[in-house]
Amino acid sequence: MTSLRSRLLFAFLLVGLAPTSLLAVRVVERVSRAFEDAARERLDNALHASLLRIDRIASRAEQQVLAIATLDLAVAPDGDERGLAEGLGSRRDLAAFEIVADDGRVLVSRHWPAGSGLPETGRAFPGPRPLRLEKVAQGYGAAESLAVMPERPATWRGARVIVRGGAFVDAELLEDLSTATQARVGVFDAATGQWYTPPESPLREWNRPALTGTSGEITLGDRPWRWASEALAPGLLLVAAVPRSDLDRVLLALRHDTVVAGLLALGGALIAALALSRRLSRPILELAAGARRVAQGDLERPVSADGPDEIGELSRAFNAMTDDLRSSRERLVQAERVTAWREMARRLAHELKNPIFPIQVSLDTLGRALDRDPALFAGLFRESSETIQQELRSLRRIVDEFSDFARMPRPSFAPVRLNTVVEQTLALYRDRSPTVRVESKVEEGLPPLSGDRDLLARALGNLVVNAIEAMPEGGVLRVGTRATAEGQMLEVADTGPGLSEDQRTRLFTPYFTTKAGGTGLGLAIVQGIVSDHGGRIEVESIPGQGTTFVLLLPGATGAPGNL
């Protein structure tokens, strides 16, 4: 998560995920609430419609009972009481019909003819609705059924009676209500714990209804239900229930769809984030690569600067900077080249002038001697010719050194163990000065690196010679190697007089020397060799304490022991 691209990706995902999640939660919550409200409304409608239907039944039955009490009984024939109950009930469409005497005996009954002549056993519910619990003939016995039975006093056969008739709130009616209202409708008698429902109604599984309150949820069988109730009469509740599974099913589908939509959105955000972060990071990465190239001295390859945005502006500025650097470097190189040529010319003139002058003097002396004293000439000739020979050798050495510098070969790379180079080189110089103690401290197990053994030995030799020569009064020369993060390091330190700041800055300039007889090419050769190996030289020097040259060479070429 440290790269700009990762951070951009994370930010995009976060930005995409948070609103999507919030939206999903909000949508599910709103839909849930909407469904809850719809379920509640559905239950309320079911209860309202059921109550309305029951009240209509009661109202219609009241009219029919009134008609029987005031019209039909007056003209009813005597005898066949069972036929009378069936006839009147059938004609007035009253499934429940009975005439009850003043003393409470059932005189005739359509729905429970077996009870005729016996005390009535029906139970009336208190309240404005004419609800009763009546015995109804069923099979070999009777069943109790809830009935809407308004009643009217009447006179029949000279006696005061009560005419009662209506319809049953039975399975058929409740099934009809359930179908019409799309809810399960039932009636619960709290006094007896009895349900009145269609045969297959799940409400029958509600053994001990906790019908406190007017609505709630309950699990019947293995399904959750939402229910609501309304009092038909004290202790008699009309209950409507709808399966919660409908709501759950929709919510499940909604959650599923939301998750899918969220994942799609996330996927889209991810793709967009990848594309955008790539588009943003690519020029930045390219800038970084360009910067690394510039740091390595490559000023020839500009970065692409196509975009119109800030990154493009930055790239263009980077390229302009690179161009400026390249121009400056060219100017600097040109200036350095001129300076170097001047220095070389000055040094060459100086170097050549030193031997030429004795030669010229010797030749002048020989000429004068030849003119003045030929006998002297012979003595001078021998002496002068030695001088001339000596200076000519000096000239030759100078020419050879310049020739060597000019003819510095290109390195021939092969696996080289740096420690071996150190050992072999120090063996050559260890006894060069009796006053200088040579110490080596190499790191064991350094792997081979890619390099030219001879050139590296030459570079090390130049440094060792310089160090020894810098300690004419004696001192300690320390040569060491060790591994670094970039490769391997060769360190040569002396305890000589050290270098001034000016000397240190001009140290690698060709033909710059602090020694009386030096050509100033030794360190230039060292720098050339190290540069050809892709490395660099660092110099630390404290005047009066010594100087340390550090050669940093790039990485190993293979595992230890390959050579």
- Which parts of this chain interact with other proteins (CB under 8 A)? 82, 112-119, 121, 135, 137, 139-142
Secondary structure in 3-state letters for 317-344: HHHHHHHHHHHHHHHHHHHHHHHHHHHH
SS3 380: helix
Other Cβ atoms within 10 Å of 175 Cβ, number: 17
CA dist 98 and 166 (Å) reads 10
Question: Could you tell me if 135 and 143 are in contact, meaning their C-beta atoms sit under 8 angstroms apart?
Answer: yes
Question: Could you tell me if 142 and 135 are in contact, meaning their C-beta atoms sit under 8 angstroms apart?
Answer: yes
364 Cβ contact list (under 8 Å, min separation 6): none
We find the least distance from the C-beta atom of residue 86 to other proteins, in angstroms, to be: 12
We find the least distance from the C-beta atom of residue 157 to other proteins, in angstroms, to be: 18
CA dist 403 and 397 (Å) reads 9
For 317-335, b/e burial (b = at least 16 CB within 10 A) is ebbeebeeeeeeeeeeeee
**Nearer Cβ to other proteins (19/117):** 117
We find the least distance from the C-beta atom of residue 137 to other proteins, in angstroms, to be: 5
We find the least distance from the C-beta atom of residue 113 to other proteins, in angstroms, to be: 8
**Nearer Cβ to other proteins (78/431):** 78
Distance of CA 468 to the CA centre of its chain: 61
**Nearer Cβ to other proteins (113/358):** 113
We find the least distance from the C-beta atom of residue 108 to other proteins, in angstroms, to be: 12
**Nearer Cβ to other proteins (116/215):** 116
Tell me, what DSSP letter sits at residue 486? S
CA dist 294 and 53 (Å) reads 93
The residue type found at 298 is D
**Nearer Cβ to other proteins (103/502):** 103
Tokens of 534: 């892709």
We find the least distance from the C-beta atom of residue 198 to other proteins, in angstroms, to be: 21
We find the least distance from the C-beta atom of residue 138 to other proteins, in angstroms, to be: 8
We find the least distance from the C-beta atom of residue 243 to other proteins, in angstroms, to be: 32
Closest residue by Cα to residue 125 from 233, 211, 51, 231: 233
Place of tokens 């020989």: 366
**Nearer Cβ to other proteins (121/509):** 121
**Nearer Cβ to other proteins (118/338):** 118
**Nearer Cβ to other proteins (112/227):** 112
Tokens of 419: 């420690």
